[in-house]
Amino acid sequence: MKILMVCLGNICRSPLAEGIMKTKVPENFFIDSAGTISLHEGETPDKRAVKTAANHHIDISQQRSRPVTKTDFDTFDKIYCMDIDVYEDVVSKAQNEEQRQKILLFMSALGDHKNAEVPDPYWGDMKDFEDVFQLLDKGCDAIKNQILS
């Protein structure tokens, strides 16, 4: 199973989701993250995201931001988007219906949050990053349960 987590810049939400998901699934799963923009390409995650993950014994400090590529649609089985704008952007890049079927809103994994978005903590403080971590943790649990059941 190959899972891609996607947010806007690939420095806050999707790196956290990647790190969290890696702790929940078997080692033979491939988990990665990307962004819809290339503004931060090659950069490490936001320092606040790295610290928040570290507070939960997860190391995301070696991740590097990258944009979504055409090959991602063939490589990955599931592509989880953090908000509606990201979802719409990723869907617009898909080349066919088979690729579009792989793209999901991350929060759809939690049945009671079908259309909810993972808020972008970039302009916030450490509490916002912690709140996002908790939301991503719940979502990753739900995704794991759906995939492994």
The residues assigned a catalytic role are 7, 13, 120
One-letter-per-residue 3-state SS of 22-36? HCCCCCCCEEEEEEC
- In sequence order, what are the residues at sequence separation of 6 or more whose Cβ sits closer than 8 angstroms to the Cβ of residue 56? 20, 133, 137
Q: Cite the DSSP H helix spans in the chain.
A: 13-22, 47-55, 72-75, 84-93, 97-100, 126-148
